[in-house]
């Protein structure tokens, strides 16, 4: 929330000289650390590391069916294999769902892990964001997401851009506290910014009107030279939102071509989720280090195949393929790692409502870009997709690989929790040898 207090004498544009900018863009999930302004965050920033590589974490909220996406079982009985069939990709021997045709043409740019272990049946994003259960260290706020860890270790800011952007809106900074939560850049770019002053009390519904008032406010501050006397961190906080890279990056409607919008499927973006793929690329482009986003609707206890082929898989296929291809064409994919995970897999046996239920014994992980060795499938499940059979990969190994990619040693790095105890970042410090 962007807000202005109202005591004291006002500028000509109605903004008071003793007003202060407060950006409540950090996770509310942390314990006892609320009320930080962006200026506080900038002030608290220690010596940051160079931008380096970036990471996009995509969480499929609800638990996607591994058997209907990346681990097809065409030889299984109908009550297991379901209605879909596998199609070949541009990598010989690698097959995925026939409802992922665009991704099938990019398989040389990604890897599929079909044998994920170490996850629990939990309807929460914690395992996708941290590699730990939602119950782990719950008494001190829980485990921090990878974005919060990177913000803690590498600094809160990458220039004038927050290092961790949370488009998903559900990442948890855990015991690190809300100051290390992700900046909330919602799908409409500025809807999480609200101006309150004497000229207009109600929430601004017009995006264009909001941008206009923000620009007017910044010009007024510059003319009055009031900012000369403001703490330098406070001025940086104003610049982040009102005039810098973030403002332009959030304004995707104005700054992207019709061709790009068409590529990402924004013409048919009725629920606002498709624009998140594009926003993720724009956040990375201006310097964010970690971007987290979500895609909802995967809890398919009933009508699994209707929901998957009607909306979920076509939108997922379009959005993810557009993101991968776009990053590749811009020369950014080599230094941007994309991960797609869900909460768990789904039951191999189809239930009496034509759905699949929760299944934590088997799941998948999709990794693209980042300069890793791609065009491969790692691990396998048994003939019905019930459990890993070959090369089980623990979820901790996935996060160790992510941390190593981000320049953080998973074997030696610890973060002290609220009880003063050092905590390792993963449950398993081994990296996935096939990828590095």
Distance CA 395, CA 399 (A): 7
Distance CA 40, CA 49 (A): 19
Q: Concatenated DSSP letters for 221-276?
A: HHHHTGGGGS-HHHHHHHHHHHTSHHHHHH-HHHHS-HHHHHHTTGGG-SSS-HHH
Query: Which DSSP state fits 129?
Result: H
Distance CA 54, CA 164 (A): 10
- Entry pTM: 0.80
| H or E, element range at 275 | helix 274-285
> For residue 254, what pLDDT is reported?
87
Distance CA 7, CA 354 (A): 61
Among 264, 353, 340, CA closest to 300: 353
Query: Which DSSP state fits 122?
Result: -
Distance CA 130, CA 132 (A): 5
353 — alpha (psi -120 to 50), left (phi > 0) or beta? Answer: alpha
| H or E, element range at 147 | helix 146-154
> For residue 184, what pLDDT is reported?
83
> For residue 187, what pLDDT is reported?
42
Q: Over its length of 436 residues, how does the chain's per-residue pLDDT go in tens digits? A: 333 333 443 434 444 433 433 333 333 333 334 444 555 555 544 444 434 799 999 999 999 999 999 999 999 999 999 999 999 999 999 999 999 999 999 999 999 999 999 999 999 999 999 999 999 999 999 999 999 999 999 988 877 789 999 997 789 999 999 999 998 875 444 444 433 343 344 443 444 555 555 566 656 655 554 545 444 445 545 555 555 678 788 888 888 999 999 999 987 776 778 899 999 999 999 999 999 999 999 999 999 999 999 999 999 999 999 999 999 999 999 999 999 999 999 999 999 999 999 999 999 999 999 999 999 999 999 999 999 999 999 999 999 999 999 999 999 999 999 999 999 999 999 999 999 9
Longest pairwise C-alpha distance within the chain? 76
Look at domain 48-189+258-424 and name its CATH class.
alpha beta
Give the dihedral of Cα atoms 370, 379, 69, 364; nearest 10 deg.
-70
Distance CA 403, CA 405 (A): 5
- Measure Cα distances from 400 to 66, 154, 405, 425 in Å: 23, 17, 8, 8
What is the domain partition of the chain in residue ranges?
A: 48-189+258-424
Distance CA 299, CA 173 (A): 25
């Amino acid at each position: 929330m962007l807000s202005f207090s109202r005591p004291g004498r006002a500028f000509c544009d109605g903004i008071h000289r003793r007003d202060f900018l407060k950006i409540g863009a950090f996770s509310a999930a942390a314990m006892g650390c609320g009320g930080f302004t962006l200026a506080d965050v900038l002030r608290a920033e220690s010596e940051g590391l160079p931008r380096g590589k970036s990471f996009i974490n995509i969480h499929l909220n609800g638990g996607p069916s591994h058997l209907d996406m990346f681990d097809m079982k065409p030889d299984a009985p109908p009550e297991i294999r379901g209605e879909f069939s596998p199609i070949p990709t541009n990598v010989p021997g690698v097959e995925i769902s026939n409802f992922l045709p665009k991704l099938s043409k990019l398989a040389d740019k990604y890897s599929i892990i079909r044998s994920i272990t170490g996850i629990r049946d939990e309807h929460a994003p914690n395992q996708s964001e941290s590699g730990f259960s939602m119950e782990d260290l719950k008494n001190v706020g829980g485990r921090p997401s990878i974005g919060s860890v990177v913000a803690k270790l590498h600094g809160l800011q990458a220039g004038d851009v927050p290092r961790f952007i949370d488009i998903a809106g559900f990442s948890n900074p855990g015991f690190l506290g809300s100051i290390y939560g992700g900046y909330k850049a919602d799908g409409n770019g500025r809807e999480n910014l609200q101006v309150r002053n004497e000229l207009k009390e109600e929430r601004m519904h017009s995006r264009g009107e909001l941008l206009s008032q923000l620009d007017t406010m910044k010009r007024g501050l510059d003319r009055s030279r009031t900012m000369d006397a403001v703490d330098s961190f406070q001025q940086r906080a104003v610049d982040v939102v009102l005039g810098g890279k973030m403002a332009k990056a959030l304004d995707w409607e104005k700054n992207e071509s019709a061709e790009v919008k068409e590529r990402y499927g924004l013409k048919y973006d009725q629920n606002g989720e498709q624009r998140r793929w594009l926003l993720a690329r724009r956040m990375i482009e201006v310097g964010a280090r970690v971007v987290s986003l979500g895609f909802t609707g995967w809890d398919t206890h009933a009508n699994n195949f209707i929901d998957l082929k009607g909306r979920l898989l076509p939108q997922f296929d379009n959005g993810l393929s557009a993101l991968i291809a776009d990053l590749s064409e811009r020369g950014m994919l080599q230094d941007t790692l994309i991960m797609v995970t869900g909460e768990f897999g789904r039951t191999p046996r189809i239930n009496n409502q034509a759905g699949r239920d929760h299944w934590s014994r088997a799941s998948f992980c999709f990794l693209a870009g980042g300069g890793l060795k791609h065009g491969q499938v790692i691990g396998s499940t048994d003939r019905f997709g019930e459990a890993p059979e070959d090369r089980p990969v623990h979820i901790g190994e996935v996060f160790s690989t992510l941390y190593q990619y981000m320049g953080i040693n998973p074997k030696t790095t610890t973060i002290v929790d609220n009880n003063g105890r050092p905590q390792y970042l993963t449950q398993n410090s081994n990296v996935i040898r096939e990828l590095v």
